[in-house]
Structure formats: structure tokens, C-alpha cells
Amino acid sequence: MTDNWPHIAPAPGTPACGPPSFEPERGWWVTRHADVRAALTDRAFQVPAVDPGPPGTLAWLRATVSRFSPQRQHADRRAVAVGALAPLAPDDLRLDAARLAGAVLDRAGDRVDVMRELARPVPLLALADRLGFADPVAAGTAVAVVAAAYHPGVDPASTARADRAVTALLALAPQGPPEVRANLIGLLVQACDATAGLIGAAAQHLLPPAGPRAPATARTADLLGEVLRLDPPVRATRRVTVDEVRLGGRDLPAGSPVLLRFDAANRDPQAFTEPGTFQPGRPGAGLLTFGTGERGCPGDRHALALATGVFDVLRERCRRNPTPVRHEPHPTLRVPTTLEVSVR
């Protein structure tokens, strides 16, 4: 490690590590690495149920994808996603993303907004093309609308726009049973904000002049691994207890809402030596940002490959402009709104 690596402070609102804590208005918060891992792998903790809806709507999509599926349906639906990703070599996705990112910079002039022009559209375009969507550009545009309303609790206007976008995506998806097509769309939605947030965070923290120029020998994947740990695009995930369970020395009643804080667990000194220090390629890191267990992200290698392809190009050709970085308001995601760079 070099002394010139950036210091990435905890994002605002990141809690300290400690035993599971309960507050009546927010439920249980779990912050220690060992406790988060235990909850992710214990079937007493399940994904909260979502309400179904008419076929072709956002509610139908949420209720059909593996991410929000109840335990009895999860394995079969996850198998659809795993099977769709199996033929996609991560290295091919990396090369696709790098080629597309390079083309954007070639026509961008001397400045470009990383989030609008690269981090959001490029990974979606590359992945939609490889998954066989008829019009990858149109699919990427529609996915961004769905992703903005994907988590329950959004305003009705966003839901109505997302319903129309789901209909458009079904028309673009490869032919197959509705459940299969829904889970292909789910892969794109999962890749949308999370991958964009990772690319944006890497550009914020690592591109000069904001951060040091990484040595040419530093692997982009190793750099992104530490960004994922210290400034994760997915800060937390929700569970609910279906049985009474003991976790981290606390007894959680059945029916308890639980928020598993990846951002805190990834800085747990019991799991990471010098947890606040940026150490690319740190061994045995135990990163939890992609989850773990039977509900761990099925496309973690593919998402990292897409982000690597884009950031390889940014490392080579761009410098970050010294403007403040703001993030989209969201309870569990951390995604920059805009991030301008100069193109060399």
C-alpha cells in the first residue's frame, strides 16, 4: 500500500459497529460484520413480502423476480438469473463496457458527466445486448425508469411511469415464459443503480486531482473492491424475522423488521485490519456489499466486470473536476447525481 491512497470517510449516516439495536420507529439495526453475515445466511431472516399486481406492471415485476420472492419460490427464480448469466463471460462484458465508454469519450469534447453519460447507460447497454434484448438502448432507458421506482413506497406518478416502462421492457425481452422474462428484466434493474453508484464512487475518490493517480500496476478490480467496501452503492438491505431468533446477543421476536447495514459491517475492526485504510487487494476481505448465502447477488462478477471496463477508460483518459459531489436521496442506495470530469 502507498501513503498516497485516498482516505474515504464514512458516508453521512453510517452507524458505528455494535450489538443489534432496536428503536420502535425503525426496528432493528444490525451493524457488526459477523451479525450481518449471520442474518444473511439464517432462514429465520427473510426478505419482506411485496404486494403482487396485474401482469406487466411494476408490482408484478417486484413480486416475480427472485430478489423479492418468498423462500418457496426463490431457488427456481434465482436459477433463471444464474442460467441467463452463465454464458456471459465477465471478461467479455468488461471489454464491451470499455469499448462503449471509449466511444462516449471520443465524441464528448473536453468534459463529460460520468453519471449521465457513462455510469448509468454503458453497463446497461452492454448487459442488455448480451442478454438478448431487442433494442439495448431503449431497454436501458426503460430500466432506469423502473429502477427509480423499484423499491416499495415511491410516489404514484413514478409507479405509473414504471408500469409503462415494464410493458416496454417485456416487448424488448427475449421470448420466453413471463417469469423468465421478468427475471431477465430484474437483472438489468439490479445492475442499474448499484453499478452506476460504484463507478461514480470510484471516479469521485480515485481520479486525480480528487484522488491520487493509481499506479499502473494497481488492478482496477482491486481498487473497486475497496471502494465497494468503504463507500458501497448499496448501503443496507432489509429482512424480517419469521421466527424468534437470537442474533449478536439479542433476542429478536418473530415479525421484527431488520435493517442489515453493509456500510457499517464493511468497516468492522473485528473483520478488517485497519478498517478505515484503503488497501487494494486486501486478502480475505469478507466483503458483504454483494450479500452472501443463498440470496447473495447472482451477478457480482458480472457487475464488477462492467464497472471495471468503464473505470479502466476513466483512469486512462480523465481527470475529475473539483466540484462538490451530491448524492441522490435514498434510504439504502448511495449514487452520485452528477460528476463532471475533464477528458484528456
pLDDT in tens, 90-103: 999 999 999 999 99
Q: What mean pLDDT is reported for the chain?
A: 92
Cell digits for 48? 419482506
Share of the chain above pLDDT 90, in %: 82
Amino acid type, 268: D
28-272+282-343: CATH topology is Cytochrome p450 (1.10.630)
Residue 215 pLDDT: 65
Residue 157 pLDDT: 79
- The residues near 213 (Cβ < 8 Å, ≥ 6 apart) are none
pLDDT in tens, 37-82: 999 999 999 999 999 999 999 999 999 999 999 999 999 999 999 9
Residue range 156-161: mean pLDDT, rounded:
86
> pLDDT tier at 331 (50, 70, 90 boundaries)?
confident
pLDDT at position 153 over 90: no
Residue 218 pLDDT: 85
Q: What is the domain partition of the chain in residue ranges?
A: 28-272+282-343
pTM of the model: 0.95
DSSP state of 212: P
- CA distances 136 to 104, 118, 124, Å, are 16, 15, 8
pLDDT at position 130 over 60: yes
